A and B are shown apart, each in its own frame.
Chain A
Amino acid sequence: MKRLPIFAISLIAVTLVFQTGPAQAYLDPGTGSILLQMLLGGVAGGLVVFKLYWTRIKGWFSPAAKSSDDGQGSGDT
């Protein structure tokens, strides 16, 4: 992957933080809740949820895909 200049990375990071919104700094909204709202919020969100399930479905047919389970994005916080 082509390396991005520091400035561009910072800009993206700042944008992401800004888009996360101040509320989420105070309260962890929970993974399931975010995904549900993406689903309810529109087609774009729905695709992310679909992708999540699709990756799992693909995983059933691919024995190598069952390796990592680091609990990333756990809703149990």
Chain B
Amino acid sequence: MNTATKTETDPGSFRDPAGQVLHLGNRVFRTVTDHGWNGFSMVWDSGLIADMSADGLVLSLQQVDPDVAGNPPNTAHLFETEKLPFVSWPFEWSFSMLKSAACLHLDVHLKALARDFTLSDASAYNVQFRGSRPVFVDHLSFRPYVDGEIWAGHRQFCEQFINPLVLAAKAGVMPNAWYRGAQEGLPTADVSRLIPLRHKFSWSVFMHIVMQARLDRAAVSGSEAVDTGAMSKARLPKTSLVNMLKGLRSWIAGLQPPPGATVWQDYAGNNSYASSEASEKLRLVGEMVADVEPGLLLDVGCNSGDYSLAALEAGAGQVVGFDVDFGALETAFARGQARDLNFLPLHFDAANPSPDQGWAQGERAGFAVRAKGDAVLALAFIHHLAIGKNIPLPRLLNWLMDRAPEGIIEFVPKEDPMVQRLLALREDIFDSYSFETFITMIRARAEIVNDVQISESGRRLVRFSRRQEAD
């Protein structure tokens, strides 16, 4: 438990002049400045946020005495909000996760408009996942609606939601690497160039991507023709805005991830495991979770989530899964949503995880900062990194043990058919890849709680505990 007594400003919270997010130990606060209170007081007094948080759409918020957080500067009013066990970024989400976040953003906007409020932006970073459900987290985005105003967040909504979804659904290209690089979304002009012609005839693709990109280009290249006076007076009747949001909502809900099963999508039913092996792994995971009772368990290489689900059933508070395969992540997310589990499967490449990025490289914390749990699972994982990506085994094990004080790491020997497949087309340069190296490295940092052989090929599950480690 963190018992810090000093508040820290969230490094990603600086753009909004209306207020900031503060952390104090395990508590999260929102400051509202005098300037921000002008609009937000109306939002707060209306009960909009209380109603939407009761429906699970918006993170809960309670007004508290500024004294609770040591009277932070520029704070006219102080609120406390719920602390999420794990924060993720849109470029770490699978297609269906980004789609569900987009739908939530539109639902929240429509419900606000029905009560004469609106959202000042349309950022995908306004959304987080609580378990498998998206939740709107940026309370200060709400403000009173001004009759006839345009949708100021439209371009941002396109860049951060529509463009990546359309790139995946219509061009079959997963947007995550590009999204991560650009951070604020995919430029409409670029995505417009990449969409196959036949998809450009869809009304939504045409208007929100092709037409918007053309108008942007026309306005820039023909500057003498841009009537900025008329633009600043642009009006969008409320019914048009509501219809646009509703139209986008139903269109986005119908978008599908790129077709074709990926390598890992059939993995659970099409791999070299014998079923007794899988049941032994499930038993060992359940046993570890029952002993450790982790609030946050990280499942590195979660695939479609078999062991994440087993960990949740055994009592883990929340499981965050990480996998490189989009097909497996689609399955994992669908399983979590169907049963409303505290399971967050995220996209990541272990050889190149999310870096610290954004303004001053502090705005969006990277994997190393965030991925600290109470327990870690790395099942059928290390050979992909050690053999597939030439990561030295000792470094890999240290990196895995840095994730949590307790955990299970599976050793997959060279003789295993899965490793043989990785070595089939390349020279075996991995002399140090052995169980001896593996167990020696773990023992150097942790106590071995148990070491169980689970397959005839020599796969072993090693449970470690570095609770006694003096770091």
Residue positions of A touching B, CB distance < 8 A: 16, 19-24, 26-42, 44-45, 48-49, 51-53, 55-56, 59, 65, 68-76
CB pair A32 B120 closer than 8 Å: no
Q: Is B84 part of the contact surface with A, judged by Cβ < 8 Å?
A: no
Give the residues from 195 to 254 in chain B that come closer than 8 angstroms, CB to CB, to chain A.
207-208, 211-237, 240, 244
Classify the secondary structure of B's interface with A: helix
Other-chain residue from A21, A45, A72 in contact with B149 (beta carbon distance below 8 A)? A21
Distance A2 CA – B244 CA, assembled complex (angstroms) = 42
CB pair B156 A27 closer than 8 Å: yes
Give the residues from 153 to 201 in chain B that come closer than 8 angstroms, CB to CB, to chain A.
153-156, 158, 187-188
Distance A32 CA – B212 CA, assembled complex (angstroms) = 5
Q: Which residue of B lies closest to A52 (CB)?
A: B225
Q: Which residue of B lies closest to A56 (CB)?
A: B222
Residues from chain A with Cβ under 8 Å of B429 in the complex = none
CB pair B233 A16 closer than 8 Å: yes
- CB of B29, distance to nearest CB on chain A (Å): 21
CB pair B231 A73 closer than 8 Å: yes
Q: Is B118 part of the contact surface with A, judged by Cβ < 8 Å?
A: yes
Residues from chain B with Cβ under 8 Å of A16 in the complex = 229, 232-233
- CB of A17, distance to nearest CB on chain B (Å): 8
Give the residues from 124 to 157 in chain B that come closer than 8 angstroms, CB to CB, to chain A.
143, 146, 149-156
Q: Is B45 part of the contact surface with A, judged by Cβ < 8 Å?
A: no
Other-chain residue from B149, B220, B224, B244 in contact with A31 (beta carbon distance below 8 A)? B220
Distance A38 CA – B470 CA, assembled complex (angstroms) = 64
Residues from chain B with Cβ under 8 Å of A31 in the complex = 215-216, 219-220, 226, 231
Classify the secondary structure of A's interface with B: helix
State whether A55 and B225 are in contact (beta carbons under 8 Å apart), knowing that A33-B158, A34-B234, A41-B237 are contacts in the complex.
yes
Distance A24 CA – B121 CA, assembled complex (angstroms) = 9
- CB of A71, distance to nearest CB on chain B (Å): 6
Residues from chain A with Cβ under 8 Å of B221 in the complex = 69
A24, A32, A41, A56 pick with most chain B CB within 10 angstroms: A32
CB pair B228 A72 closer than 8 Å: yes
Residues from chain A with Cβ under 8 Å of B219 in the complex = 31-32, 35, 52, 73-75
Distance A65 CA – B118 CA, assembled complex (angstroms) = 42
Q: Is B16 part of the contact surface with A, judged by Cβ < 8 Å?
A: yes
Q: Which residue of B lies closest to A32 (CB)?
A: B216
Q: Is B355 part of the contact surface with A, judged by Cβ < 8 Å?
A: no
Q: Is B56 part of the contact surface with A, judged by Cβ < 8 Å?
A: no
State whether A41 and B235 are in contact (beta carbons under 8 Å apart), knowing that A27-B120, A27-B156, A30-B216 are contacts in the complex.
yes
Distance A30 CA – B146 CA, assembled complex (angstroms) = 19
- CB of B400, distance to nearest CB on chain A (Å): 41
CB pair B226 A52 closer than 8 Å: yes
CB pair A71 B220 closer than 8 Å: yes
Other-chain residue from B150, B158, B188, B226 in contact with A73 (beta carbon distance below 8 A)? B226
Enumerate 15 A-B pairs (CB-CB under 8 Å) in ascending A order.
Answer: A21-B146, A26-B120, A27-B120, A27-B153, A29-B151, A29-B152, A30-B216, A34-B231, A35-B231, A36-B154, A36-B215, A42-B237, A44-B235, A72-B226, A76-B187
Distance A32 CA – B222 CA, assembled complex (angstroms) = 13
Residues from chain B with Cβ under 8 Å of A23 in the complex = 118, 120-121, 143, 149, 152-153
